[in-house]
Structure 1
Amino acid sequence: MLADHFPLLGLRVRTPRLELRLPDDDQLAALAELAAGGIHEPDTMPFLHPFTDAPPDVVARSVVQHHYRARGELGPDKWTLPLTVLSGGTVVGTQGLNAAEFSVTLEVGSGSWLGRDHQGKGIGTEMRAAVLHLAFAGLGAEIARSESFDGNPASAGVSRRLGYADDGTARHAVGGRCRTGHRFVLTREAWERHRTVDVTIDGLEPCLPLLGADGPPT
């Protein structure tokens, strides 16, 4: 099996209504089509890399390429794990986790999006809770960070509900415009105090060396 050679394909993170995993080909096609169908209002841009500012076929192709690129470049020193989110077997979005020199920093970042029909149902909070459990309980992280732009209260609301604290601002050039990003930071202690979602992880142990992780502290 391919997962014998790339064990991240066997990783599953589950909550009461969601499953997060690296997608198979059919699921990746569904994710690309979901992105092409729209993620946000046309006059907004919630992403640092404005991949949705393109025709639908280009958006779909960029989603596929991002997933292949992330798998090809993944290694212990730097990795991005773009997990596809399924609800009742239906692809609803993606929740990513990333790190650089994780074995040294014990720090992760995250990013996500949902198809528009699946927004406003609490899925965004649940899927972020899932990858935070993967980071803290599974990998042994000490810090998680997130950032959202002005005009994206949903993302900021998820961060605050899960216990992140404000961590300043940053200025970014996005599509030729200066955008203000609001930074958030979550410590292990704050994560433990705000945990409300039951999460289970399967298939993690063989993945740890690929992610530069030793697992949670004992």
Structure 2
Amino acid sequence: MATDHFPVLGLRVRTPRLELRPPSLDDLSALADVAARGVHDPAEMPFVVPWTDRPPAVRARSVFQHNLGAYARWTPQDWHLPLVVVHEGAVVGVQDMEAADFGITRRVASGSWLGLGHQGRGIGTEMRAAMLHLAFEGLGAREAASAVMEGNVRSERVSRGLGYRDDGVGVQAVRGRAVRELRFLLTREDWEAHRPDTPVEVSGLAPCLPFFGLGELPE
């Protein structure tokens, strides 16, 4: 089985409404279809890299390859964990988490997106909360960073609602113009003070820990 060689593929994070999991090839195909149907108003650009400006077929292919490649490039010192978000049996978006030298820094960063047809129902908050539970409760993180382009009110609201604090402002070149990037940081103490009541269940984590830089990989 694939999990014999790479246990991360067996990781599951569940809430009452959602399941977050490493994607199968079928999941990636479904995620690509969601991206092709649209992620945001074309007049806006919530991402530093404007990948959603591409034609639908190109956008779909890039999503498939980008998320598949994250697992191919994985090392315990530099990992990127994209988890497809499944709601009522359908893939609706992706929640990711990444870190460099996590065993030392205990700091993660995250990003996410949802298909247009699945927004406005609290899924974005619930999937971020599930990821934070994995980070703090499962992996023992001390900090979680996030950033949004100025004007991305929904994402900013999610971060503030979960207890993130302001952590500075940067500037990014997006679509040929300078855009302010609002940075946020959530400490373990603030997460514990603001963690939602929604229950989160993590399964399959124990054999994954060395792959996150927490212990030695088996020889």
- What is aligned with 1:176? 176
1:213 matches 2:214: yes
Q: Deviations over 1:12-59 (max 9, x none)?
A: 000110000011111110100000100000111101111111000110
- What is aligned with 2:10? 10
Q: Deviations over 1:73-115 (max 9, x none)?
A: 1111111101000011111100000001111110000000000
5+ residue gaps, structure 2, are none
* Cα distance between partner residues in 1 of 2:77 and 2:128: 23
Shift in Å, 1:213: 2.6
* Cα distance between partner residues in 1 of 2:122 and 2:76: 32
CA contact (8 A) 1:109 1:144 kept: yes
* Cα distance between partner residues in 2 of 1:49 and 1:139: 29
- What is aligned with 1:139? 139
The Cα RMSD (Å) is 0.8
Following superposition of structure 1 onto structure 2, how do residues 26-37 of structure 1 map, counting pairs within 5 Å? 26-37=26-37
5+ residue gaps, structure 1, are none
Amino acid at match of 1:200: E
Alignment size in residue pairs: 214
Amino acid at match of 1:201: V
- What is aligned with 2:195? 195
Amino acid at match of 2:210: P
* Cα distance between partner residues in 1 of 2:214 and 2:56: 37
The 4+ residue runs of structure 1 with deviation greater than 6 A are: none
* Cα distance between partner residues in 2 of 1:170 and 1:54: 25
Which has the higher mean CA deviation after the structures are superposed, 110-119 or 167-176?
167-176
Following superposition of structure 1 onto structure 2, how do residues 142-153 of structure 1 map, counting pairs within 5 Å? 142-153=142-153
SS in 2 for 1:52: helix
- What is aligned with 1:123? 123
Identity of aligned residues (%): 58
- What is aligned with 1:186? 186
- What is aligned with 1:96? 96
Amino acid at match of 1:60: A
* Cα distance between partner residues in 2 of 1:145 and 1:3: 29
Q: TM-score, normalised by structure 2?
A: 0.96
* Cα distance between partner residues in 2 of 1:80 and 1:174: 23
CA contact (8 A) 1:140 1:213 kept: no
Shift in Å, 1:174: 1.8
CA contact (8 A) 1:169 1:181 kept: yes
